[in-house]
Amino acid sequence: MGHADDHPAADGAHTRSQASQHCDLCEAAPITTWYHEDAVCWIADCEICQVPMVVWRSHGAEPPADALSHMLDRLRAIADARFGVDGWFLDREMRRIPDHFHAHARDPDWWSRIAARFLRP
Ligand SMILES: [Zn+2]
Ligand SMILES: [Zn+2]
């Protein structure tokens, strides 16, 4: 596994020619907990959900099968380490950004953590 690039989007070195408009996932900077990055994907805590999220480096909704299995394998390893093997579920629904592949590894309590944060005065 090479380290061709250090941080995605940190210095704009990545050209985003495919992204015609603003995309949060293309522009994501490593501002949260950063778990993993390679040529195919990166994994960091989702800013909103506070759970690990894998994001495809390419802007598109349907990664090829080999990229998909690579990403889900990486996410699984990280989620297993954080939540325990049976302590999380894969959420592939792309609610906020439907045209750029990403998937969350959620633990059963993720929503109550978010709710607690928003309900706090
Ligand atoms: Zn994108
Ligand atoms: Zn999220």
Q: Is residue 6 part of a domain?
A: no
Task: Say which ligand is closest to the CA of 46.
Answer: 2
Asked whether 105 and 83 are in contact (CB, 8 A), the reply is yes
Q: Is residue 98 part of a domain?
A: yes
Report the domain count for the chain.
1
Whether the full predicted model's pTM is greater than 0.85, yes or no, is no
| 2-6 average pLDDT score | 47
- The answer as to whether 103 is a domain residue is yes
Closest CA relative to residue 55, chosen from 88, 12, 94: 94
Which amino acid, one-letter code, is at 39?
A: A
96 is a domain residue: yes
**What is the number of other CB atoms lying within 10 angstroms of the CB of residue 120?**
6
Q: What is the CATH number of the domain that holds 45?
A: 3.30.428.10
Domain that residue 91 falls in? 24-119
Is residue 80, in this structure, part of any structural domain at all?
yes
37: which strand partners? 42
If DSSP codes are grouped into helix, strand and coil, which group holds residue 43?
Answer: strand
Residue of 97, 78, 90, 74 lying closest to 27 (CA atoms): 97
Distance 49 CA to ligand 2 centre (A): 4
Q: What is the whole-number distance in angstroms between the Cα of residue 117 and the centre of ligand 2?
A: 14
pLDDT tens digits, 31-85:
678 999 999 999 999 988 899 999 999 999 999 999 999 999 999 999 999 999 9
**9 alpha carbon, closest ligand:** 1
Give domain status of residue 115, yes or no.
yes
Query: 14 C-alpha to center of ligand 2: Å?
Result: 23
